[in-house]
Structure 1
Amino acid sequence: MFYKFAISMLCLLMLTGCWSRRELNELLIVLGVGVDWEDGHYLVSYQVVNPSEISNQQKRGDRPPSTIFQGRGRTLFEAARSVTAEAPRKVYMGHLQIYVIGEEAARKKGINELIDSAARDNETRMDFNIIVAKGSKAEEVLKLYTPVEKLPSYSMQQSLQTSQKNWAPTIAVTLDEAITKLSSQGSELALTGIRVIGNPKVGETKQNIEKFMPPSRFRYSGIAAFKDDKLIGWLNERESRGYTDITNNLDSTSIAVPCGEQRYLGIEVTSSDSKIKTKVVNGNPEAEVSIRTEANIVERSCTHVDLSNPATIKELEGQTKKAIQSNAEAAVNHAKDMKADIFGFGTQMEKEHPAFWYKVKDQWRDEYFPKLKVSYKIKLYIRETGTTENSTIR
């Protein structure tokens, strides 16, 4: 009998339940975090949900849907803890969606230091997106009133996901993907940039969303290239297209093919698949980028272009391939100038030629990558020309 009682008590001790529970009304739900470097200190901005403004039952309408709490410190942890001096509750990072890094912080402090604290927090998930504020502070991005979506962080996260699927110059990088890149000696990190259009001070006011087009708004612009975990430069729109193509991050995009004076044919890329192969020739590394793309013709502004003629389709395929290769070459050349292998050529070399990689890995970034010979093998197929083929519109 005593034996059964002892076993029962041990089982009860194991069922401790919610000993570490925290109620929702005791927490500040963080959706966005901004990190800036200012006057020798970190400035951390937390964008938290204002529950009364997003609840259908308790909506009041006289307060913003989210609130910014800020803290300063010599370390990110110190800055985070200093927030408690003004925040009425403890911040909760379990629903974090977007992590914005100010450009100055990315250049001076390095990405490792900026995401280390988030990676160590056991409450933080690894699937939030990391972006860089281009030419501005992270706090300015988080303070914007945004149309359609009430919560700015959610609006930015949704826009990033949509843009990555439909517009080539953007990539949605999560925390775990960033850590993988940073831990690789043969590949450098690249993150999408976000910039504030218009006056940031206007964007902080509710009047910003009371017009058809908000005078202050965000836009994803360019890709930030890192070297040794610090921001070293930016890819422009054309180069960013080439980057997403080479790294197999392209789902769909638009390509304009010239067909006359100030006239273009609209080509929609519907699928793209790319691979990198490497080889060593006479002790020198070489790489081949293979891209296979399928596309449709979605706009025909030049009426002289006969889409019913197979020869015309072949010619358009050739022009589109040239545009894709031109973008890729521009991206690789710029990366070589920065000595930042953001494409992962080194990682592929390590997989395919480990003995050679072991010899050159310490000199790869500064010596071998800038001289790397890259060739391109591009296949493009136009599958559809639309339901009207040759439009009768003149």
Structure 2
Amino acid sequence: MAKFKAICLLMILTLLLSGCWSKRELNELAIVVGLGIDKVDNEFEITVQVVDPSEISSKQPSSGRSPVITYQSKGATVFEAIRKMTTVTARKLYFSHLQIVVLGDELAKEGISEPLDLISRDHEFRNDFDVIVAHDATAEEVLNVLTPIEKVPANKMLNSLKTSEKTWGTTQSIKIDELINTLNNKETSIVMSAIEILGDKNVGMEQMNVKRSKSPVQLKYTGLAVFKEDKLIGLLTEDESRSLGFIKDKIESTIEILACPKGGTLSTEITHSKTKIKGEFKNGAPKINVVIDVNQNVGEVECNIDLTKEKSIKYVNKKTEELIKKRIEETIKTVQQNYRVDVFGFGAALHRKNPKEWKKIKKEWLTIFQELPVKVEVHVNTQGLGTMENSLVNKSKGE
């Protein structure tokens, strides 16, 4: 009797177990890896980059087709445009593998809050994709460019973004949740990596762009785009973008080129950088201190300098400090005078230091920011000289 009861109980429990009622087979989905948003004639134009699985599979020979397909659709809202796209796609769009979102240049100038609303709240979108802005191009044009090595252009854009951020410092990755939080934060303004198309945009759509040893059309990151509230207002140069990276403690590694005492140049590799931003109020007036500690190695020597001597290392340290400090001070001045928005997070530092004093200046912060005194200190320590202490160039000349 007990055995019979146990069997009945198990049968009842099986009715309560969830099944795969909501499953979706791979051959029923169109996997979206890149999403572009443009504004055209008061409508949103959406471009999706969809993977062709058979063309990127390592187990199947290529048929010569493009590894990705792009689809476009327009609508009064982003949501409507995506739904209308089902009239041209053979499968339902699947956004859980989205790698990157590209915002068109014109859209960014008009404002990005509205089009970002759907992708930040829709359950089909995860929050781990990056957002970038197209420079002098539409998002559609960027997503239509085929890229070598990386068959999927969205992967190329993401990998270039990450690699440049880690080894050069002129780009900054920003996820959708961080972007939304910054938009809602009145203390700090948005910066976003900008990408441009080098070459003929129409040629970039053709297979010939990936069948040559040198691609005639390439996608290149070109510094950081500056926003005021949710509108694009300008673009920082590479040097300014790197300086911003130092201030925001985003630099993992980069290169500095110094002038040697007797002519020629010496290159160093920044291996570590740590920044502390300290805000303070003096008699109610705000000021900022930026302290940056840097470790570096000597990377390349094209001059006559004896690196075995302590005074030479001190010279290298001093020149690196002066170079980084000067560039950062120039960048701060440029942003204060030309863009007049706090992209550095100085307001947040003042808020943390003294919330009561910050509350008094909060409403006038952008006006105060333009004249804000900022003191920059850079401390550099050279740790490694490479496998050679002095220049091979000078040795070959008999010096």
Name the counterpart of 2:93.
Answer: 91
Name the counterpart of 1:381.
Answer: 381
The answer to whether structure 1 residue 67 and structure 2 residue 76 are counterparts is: no
* Separation (CA, whole Å) in 1 of partners of 2:148 and 2:17: 47
Name the counterpart of 2:257.
Answer: 256
User: Residues 5-44 of structure 1: matches in 2 within 5 Å?
Assistant: 11-44=13-46
Partner amino acid, structure 1, of 2:388: T
Q: Secondary structure at the match of 1:200?
A: coil
The answer to whether structure 1 residue 331 and structure 2 residue 334 are counterparts is: no
- Kept in 2, the 8 Å contact 1:235–1:334? The answer is no
Deviation at 1:263, TM superposition (A): 3.2
Q: Secondary structure at the match of 2:136?
A: coil
User: Residues 267-306 of structure 1: matches in 2 within 5 Å?
Assistant: 267-302=268-303, 304-306=304-306
Provide Cα deviations, 1:316-351, integer angstroms capped at 9, x if missing partner. Answer: 111111111122112212221212111111111111
* Separation (CA, whole Å) in 2 of partners of 1:14 and 1:333: 66
* Separation (CA, whole Å) in 2 of partners of 1:37 and 1:48: 21
Structure 2, gaps ≥5 residues long: none
* Separation (CA, whole Å) in 1 of partners of 2:341 and 2:199: 32
Deviation at 1:16, TM superposition (A): 2.1
Q: Secondary structure at the match of 1:62?
A: coil
* Separation (CA, whole Å) in 1 of partners of 2:287 and 2:95: 44
Deviation at 1:114, TM superposition (A): 2.6
Q: Secondary structure at the match of 1:171?
A: coil
* Separation (CA, whole Å) in 2 of partners of 1:144 and 1:393: 46
Name the counterpart of 2:341.
Answer: 340
Name the counterpart of 2:49.
Answer: 47
- Kept in 2, the 8 Å contact 1:278–1:288? The answer is yes
* Separation (CA, whole Å) in 2 of partners of 1:56 and 1:384: 42
Deviation at 1:179, TM superposition (A): 1.8
- Kept in 2, the 8 Å contact 1:238–1:330? The answer is no
Q: Secondary structure at the match of 1:195?
A: strand
Partner amino acid, structure 2, of 1:393: S
Deviation at 1:6, TM superposition (A): 9.4
Deviation at 1:12, TM superposition (A): 4.0
Deviation at 1:7, TM superposition (A): 6.9
User: Residues 1-394 of structure 1: matches in 2 within 5 Å?
Assistant: 11-108=13-110, 110-259=111-260, 263-302=264-303, 304-337=304-337, 338-365=339-366, 367-391=367-391, 392-394=395-397
* Separation (CA, whole Å) in 2 of partners of 1:112 and 1:152: 26
Q: Secondary structure at the match of 2:386?
A: coil
Partner amino acid, structure 2, of 1:364: W
Deviation at 1:11, TM superposition (A): 4.1
Q: Secondary structure at the match of 1:36?
A: strand
Q: Secondary structure at the match of 2:187?
A: coil
- Kept in 2, the 8 Å contact 1:243–1:343? The answer is yes
**RMSD, aligned CA:** 1.9
Deviation at 1:186, TM superposition (A): 0.8
Deviation at 1:157, TM superposition (A): 0.6
Provide Cα deviations, 1:232-266, integer angstroms capped at 9, x if missing partner. Answer: 11111111011000000000001111227983211
Deviation at 1:393, TM superposition (A): 3.0
Partner amino acid, structure 2, of 1:198: G
Provide Cα deviations, 1:81-111, integer angstroms capped at 9, x if missing partner. Answer: 1111100111111011111111110111x22
Identity of aligned residues (%): 38
Partner amino acid, structure 1, of 2:20: C
Provide Cα deviations, 1:257-290, integer angstroms capped at 9, x if missing partner. Answer: 1227983211100010101100011221100111
Partner amino acid, structure 2, of 1:71: S
Moved more, 327-336 or 154-163: 327-336
- Kept in 1, the 8 Å contact 2:77–2:115? The answer is no
Moved more, 345-354 or 238-247: 345-354
Change (3 A) 1:327 1:13: farther
